């Protein structure tokens, strides 16, 4: 099955319009802070949420709104996470009501999200004031998705947007997504948000099953700083306008849909990791030769989460001992004496560890390999044929600066 990456984002699929504006939640006038994405018709809807016991109010409202597996639009503000506020639910529901008032879409069919400052009351006033403009700017062009993608950014330095075309039973379908990475504008919490649209027809149950399975290999394998946010949410709207027969069970069509979903989410994960707080490099860990999938994933995740390794990667330092250390404390059941480790990048490959012990390597080549901006730590456990990939980034001065800044 062929998946083609195409231009645009959430407006690439048929029947979706988007817009984004600055309504005044964020002080910086040049930063958009309110996004709206709507479908012409009611869609199959599904979402996965943060596992943090502390959950943003919008998450509770969204869960309720899509409990019937249906929704028609996304609304998301940046600059305030609407979390740990006494009136959070009321505000989140208020945002949904505003959507109904200005678009006619039932408030119960709205997926609502917020990202930004935590523990500070969110006022509906700027949102209400901005709705007219937000709705008037709705469009299905690439620039409309671009505006929405930029409106959900916090300290992201680049927008995260991707779109693909694929076939289901010979019917051309499209899927697009936007997301935001971990940014901390004082004093908020890193939040990961991803909104995906598709014109493929799929039942709510199968859509939920698809994203639940996908997330375990994509977003749940991504870590910037190990802090699970309070507002994380990945949600999908499938409006069926591509005209394929609705996917209502497992099979070839469902697998095709999952492959397209994975192409979108995997790309978004890499974008988010590379643009992690203060990051200068993407840190990817590919684990192969694992006895089972869980072992492969546990090892890969532990490696990209190692604070010591992240700092070493920033310094282009082939500190493979830190890789072995992270594998050793990962909790995975494995034989350390079978482990081989290599560092890979566009500049080449350097083998640093064989059978759990160091091997001689050229410092010069190692430094060249690790000076690239996309580094892969390749770990072979030599104990089976299962694989996994995890994504992270280096730990830099800017990470400390951005997150250690005084309130100003």
Q: Interface residues with a copy of itself (CB under 8 A)?
A: 51-55, 83-86, 118-120, 184, 186-190, 225-230, 305-308, 311-312, 314-322, 324-329, 334, 336, 353, 356-358, 363, 367, 394-397, 399-407
Query: Cβ distance 330 to 306 under 8 Å?
Result: no
Question: Looking at beta carbons only, is 69 or 328 nearer to a copy of itself?
Answer: 328
Based on CB atoms, which residue is closest to a copy of itself, 114 or 396? 396
Pick the closer one to a copy of itself by CB: 5 or 329.
329
Report how far apart the first and last C-alpha atoms of the chain are (Å, whole number).
52
SS3 191: coil
The C-alpha atoms of residue 235 and residue 111 are separated, in whole angstroms, by: 8
Tell me the closest approach of the beta carbon of residue 172 to a copy of itself, in angstroms.
Answer: 41
Q: Minimum distance from CB of 306 to a copy of itself (Å)?
A: 6
| Shortest CB 400 distance to a copy of itself, Å | 5
Alpha-carbon distances of 191 from 43, 226, 360, 397, rounded to whole Å: 25, 12, 42, 21
Helix axes 88-103, 57-65, angle to 10 degrees: 50
Q: How far is the CB of 126 from a copy of itself (least distance, A)?
A: 20
Cβ closer to a copy of itself: 70 or 367?
Answer: 367
CB-neighbour burial class of residue 104 (10 A; exposed 0-12, middle 13-18, buried 19+): exposed
Contact 280, 399 (CB under 8 A): no
Q: How far apart are CA 224 and CA 227, in angstroms?
A: 8
Among residues 191, 197, 218, 265, the one annotated as catalytic is 191
Q: Which is nearer to a copy of itself, 183 or 204 (CB)?
A: 183
What is the rounded distance in angstroms from the CA atom of residue 119 to the CA atom of residue 84? Answer: 5
Q: How far is the CB of 377 from a copy of itself (least distance, A)?
A: 15
The residues pairing with 43 across neighbouring beta strands, listed in sequence order, are: 71
Token readout for 295 is 């072992």
Catalytic, 230? Answer no
- 126 token code pair: 């700027």
What the block records as the tokens of 224 is 């910037």
Active site residues: 191
């Amino acid at each position: 099955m062929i998946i083609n990456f195409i231009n645009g984002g959430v407006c690439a699929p048929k029947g979706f319009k988007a817009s984004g504006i600055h309504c005044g939640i964020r002080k910086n006038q040049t930063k958009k802070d309110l996004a709206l994405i709507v479908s012409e018709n009611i869609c199959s809807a599904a979402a996965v949420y943060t596992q943090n016991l502390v959950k943003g109010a919008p998450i509770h409202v969204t869960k309720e709104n899509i409990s019937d597996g249906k929704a028609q639009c996304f609304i998301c503000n940046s600059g305030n996470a609407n979390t740990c506020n006494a009136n959070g639910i009321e505000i989140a529901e208020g945002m949904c009501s505003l959507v109904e008032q200005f678009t006619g879409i039932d408030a119960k069919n709205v997926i609502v999200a917020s990202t930004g400052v935590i523990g500070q009351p969110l006022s509906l006033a700027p949102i209400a004031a901005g709705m007219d403009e937000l709705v008037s700017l709705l469009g299905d062009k690439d620039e409309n998705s671009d505006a929405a993608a930029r409106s959900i950014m916090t300290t992201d330095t680049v927008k995260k947007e991707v779109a693909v075309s694929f076939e289901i039973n010979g019917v051309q379908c499209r899927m697009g997504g936007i997301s935001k990475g971990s940014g901390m504008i004082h004093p908020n919490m890193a939040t990961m948000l991803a909104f995906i649209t598709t014109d493929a027809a799929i039942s709510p149950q199968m859509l939920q099953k698809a994203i639940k399975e996908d997330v375990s290999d994509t977003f749940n394998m991504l870590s910037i700083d190990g802090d699970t946010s309070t507002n994380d949410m990945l949600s999908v709207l499938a409006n069926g306008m591509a005209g394929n027969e609705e996917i209502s069970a497992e099979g070839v069509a469902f697998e095709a849909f999952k492959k397209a979903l994975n192409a979108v989410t995997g790309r978004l994960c890499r974008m988010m990791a590379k643009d992690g707080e203060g990051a200068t490099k993407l840190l990817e860990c590919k684990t192969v030769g694992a006895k089972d999938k869980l072992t492969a994933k546990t090892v890969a995740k532990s490696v990209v989460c190692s604070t010591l390794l992240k700092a070493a990667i920033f310094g282009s330092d082939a500190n493979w001992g830190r890789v072995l250390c992270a594998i050793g404390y990962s909790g995975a059941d494995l034989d350390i004496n079978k482990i081989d480790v290599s560092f890979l990048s566009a500049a080449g490959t350097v083998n640093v560890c064989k059978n759990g012990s160091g091997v001689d390597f050229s410092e010069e080549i190692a430094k060249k390999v690790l000076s690239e901006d996309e580094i892969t730590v390749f770990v072979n456990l030599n104990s089976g044929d299962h694989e996994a990939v995890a994504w992270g980034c280096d730990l830099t001065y800017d990470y400390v600066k951005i997150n250690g800044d005084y309130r100003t």
